[in-house]
C-alpha cells in the first residue's frame, strides 16, 4: 500500500509540475451590454424589452521550440440563457505566417467577408412568418465540424493579398428525412491597398456543398459567393457588401424542407468625431423559397435601415442610442408581421 501511495504522490507531483512548466498563455476579453429596447410593430402590441447580454472569451496559445504557434479559444455567452460557444478550432500558425485550422474551421468564403459599417445597439423587429429572405452576405457558406482551413501568409503572391481555402466532410451518420450536410468547400481572399489617404479593403469568397436526404432532393445545395469593399479615410469609413446563392432550411419545425435562392445587399457609413461615433447602415435581402425539388416563384424580402450614436463615456464604457426600421414581404406580399421600428438605449462595458 505504501508503494502505491508513493507512486500516486509522484504522479500527482509530476503532473502538477508539468502543468506549471507547460501551461499555455491565456488571455481574456469580454463585454457586458445592458439596455432597453422599445419595439413598435406595424401590427400588434408595442413591447419593451430589457437586453442583458454578456460574453467572456478565453484565448489560449503557446509556441513550440520550432516556432509554430498552437492556439484556440472558447467563449461563454449569457443572453438570458447561459451557453458555451464551442466553435473552437485548433489553429497552427507557422513561422512563414501561414496557418492551418483543424476542426470547427468554418468556411473560407465566410472568413473574407468585408466588414460593412452598421448601427450599434441591440434593436430589431421580430417576425414569425415564413419569410426566408437571407440577412448575411455569406449565407451560402457552410461547413461541418469535421473541417480544415488553410490561411496564406500576408502578401501572398502580391502585396496586401491574403487567401484561404477550406474543406469539411460528413460524420458518416445515416441520411434522414431532414437534409444533412455531407461536405463543403470554400475559397476566399482579401486585398488591402492604399489610394492617397484612403485605405481600401476588397474581399470575398465562393462556397459550395453537398447535401443528402432520404426524401426529395433540393434543386441546389447550400452554395454562393460574396464580395465587398470598404474605404477608410481618417475618421470616415464607408463599405458595401453583396452575397448571392442558395441555402436550405430543414431543421425548422414550422416549415417543411425548404430551399431558398436569395441575395443580400448591405451598405453602411460611420464617422468618428471626438468621443462620438455616428453610424448608418442599410440591408436588403430577397429570397425565393419552395419545398425541396420545387423552386420558388415569388420573393420574400426584408429591408431595414438602422442608425446609431455611440458616446465613449470612459475607457471601455460606451452609451448607445440606436434605431431600426424594417419593411418585410412574404411571397411577394407586404406583411405587417416583421415590419415596424425599434429603439434601443443602453450601455456597453468592454475589457
Q: Is 56 inside any structural domain? A: yes
* Residue 115: all three cell numbers together: 466588414
Domain that holds residue 214: 26-350
Q: Is 158 inside any structural domain? A: yes
**What is the pLDDT at residue 86?**
57
**Residue 286 sits in a domain of what CATH number?**
2.40.160.10
**What is the pLDDT at residue 13?**
43
Q: What is the pLDDT of residues 78-135, one digit of tens each?
A: 665 545 455 678 999 999 999 999 998 999 999 999 999 999 999 988 877 788 899 8
**What is the pLDDT at residue 286?**
95
- Other beta carbons within 10 angstroms of residue 95's beta carbon come to 11
Percent of the chain residues past pLDDT 70, beyond the cut: 90
DSSP 60-97: EEEE-TTS-EEEEEEEEEEESEEEEE----EEEE-TTS
**What is the pLDDT at residue 126?**
81
Query: Taking Cα atoms as reference points, which of 61, 85, 59, 76 lies closest to residue 145?
Result: 85
CA separation for the pair 79, 55 (Å, rounded):
8
Q: pTM for the full model?
A: 0.85
Q: Reply yes or no on whether the pLDDT at 153 is more than 90.
A: yes
Mean per-residue pLDDT for 16-38? 78
Percent of the chain residues past pLDDT 90, beyond the cut: 61
* Residue 186: all three cell numbers together: 470554400
Q: What is the pLDDT of residues 29-45, one digit of tens each?
A: 999 999 999 999 888 78
**What is the pLDDT at residue 250?**
76
Q: Is 20 inside any structural domain? A: no
Q: What is the pLDDT of residues 192-248, one digit of tens each?
A: 999 999 999 999 999 999 988 888 888 889 999 999 999 999 999 999 999 999 999
Q: How far is CA 282 from CA 202, 206, 268, 286, in A?
A: 19, 23, 6, 14
Q: Is 106 inside any structural domain? A: yes
CA separation for the pair 249, 221 (Å, rounded):
11
**What is the pLDDT at residue 14?**
37
Q: Is 87 inside any structural domain? A: yes
**What is the pLDDT at residue 251?**
65
Helix (H) or strand (E) segment spanning residue 6:
helix 2-21
Q: What is the pLDDT of residues 261-319, one digit of tens each?
A: 999 999 999 999 999 999 999 999 999 998 888 888 889 999 999 999 999 999 999 99
* Count: domains in the chain: 1
Q: Are strands 198-212 and 223-233 parallel, antiparallel or unpaired?
A: antiparallel
Q: Is 12 inside any structural domain? A: no
Q: Is 2 inside any structural domain? A: no
- Other beta carbons within 10 angstroms of residue 171's beta carbon come to 10
| CA angle 255–256–258, rounded 5-degree value | 95
Q: What is the pLDDT of residues 158-193, one digit of tens each?
A: 999 999 999 999 878 888 888 888 999 999 999 999
Q: Is 306 inside any structural domain? A: yes
Amino acid at each position: 500500500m505504501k508503494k502505491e501511495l508513493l507512486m500516486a504522490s509522484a504522479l500527482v507531483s509530476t503532473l502538477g509540475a508539468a502543468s506549471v512548466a507547460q501551461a499555455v498563455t491565456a488571455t481574456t476579453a469580454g463585454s457586458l451590454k445592458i439596455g432597453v429596447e422599445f419595439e413598435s410593430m406595424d401590427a400588434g402590441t408595442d413591447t419593451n424589452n430589457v437586453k442583458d447580454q454578456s460574453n467572456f472569451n478565453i484565448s489560449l496559445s503557446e509556441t513550440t521550440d520550432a516556432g509554430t504557434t498552437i492556439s484556440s479559444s472558447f467563449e461563454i455567452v449569457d443572453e438570458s440563457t447561459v451557453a458555451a460557444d464551442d466553435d473552437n478550432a485548433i489553429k497552427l500558425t507557422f513561422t512563414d505566417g501561414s496557418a492551418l485550422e483543424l476542426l470547427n474551421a468554418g468556411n473560407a468564403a465566410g472568413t473574407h467577408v468585408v466588414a460593412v459599417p452598421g448601427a450599434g445597439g441591440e434593436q430589431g423587429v421580430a417576425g414569425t412568418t415564413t419569410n426566408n429572405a437571407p440577412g448575411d452576405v455569406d449565407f451560402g457558406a457552410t461547413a461541418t465540424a469535421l473541417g480544415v482551413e488553410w490561411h496564406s501568409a500576408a502578401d501572398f503572391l502580391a502585396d496586401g493579398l491574403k487567401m484561404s481555402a477550406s474543406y469539411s466532410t460528413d460524420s458518416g451518420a445515416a441520411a434522414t428525412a431532414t437534409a444533412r450536410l455531407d461536405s463543403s468547400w470554400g475559397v476566399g481572399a482579401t486585398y488591402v491597398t492604399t489610394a492617397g489617404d484612403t485605405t481600401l479593403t476588397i474581399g470575398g469568397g465562393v462556397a459550395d456543398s453537398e447535401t443528402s436526404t432520404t426524401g426529395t432532393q433540393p434543386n441546389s445545395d447550400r452554395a454562393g459567393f460574396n464580395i465587398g469593399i470598404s474605404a477608410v479615410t481618417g475618421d470616415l469609413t464607408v463599405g458595401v457588401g453583396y452575397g448571392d446563392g442558395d441555402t436550405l432550411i430543414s431543421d425548422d419545425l414550422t416549415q417543411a424542407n425548404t430551399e431558398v435562392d436569395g441575395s443580400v445587399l448591405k451598405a453602411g457609413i460611420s464617422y468618428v468625431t471626438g468621443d462620438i461615433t455616428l453610424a448608418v447602415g442599410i440591408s436588403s435581402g430577397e429570397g425565393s423559397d419552395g419545398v425541396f425539388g420545387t423552386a420558388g416563384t415569388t420573393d420574400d424580402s426584408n429591408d431595414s435601415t438602422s442608425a446609431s450614436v455611440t458616446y465613449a463615456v470612459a475607457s471601455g464604457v460606451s452609451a448607445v442610442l440606436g434605431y431600426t426600421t424594417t419593411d418585410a414581404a412574404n411571397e411577394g406580399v407586404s406583411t405587417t408581421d416583421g415590419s415596424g421600428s425599434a429603439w434601443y438605449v443602453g450601455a456597453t462595458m468592454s475589457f
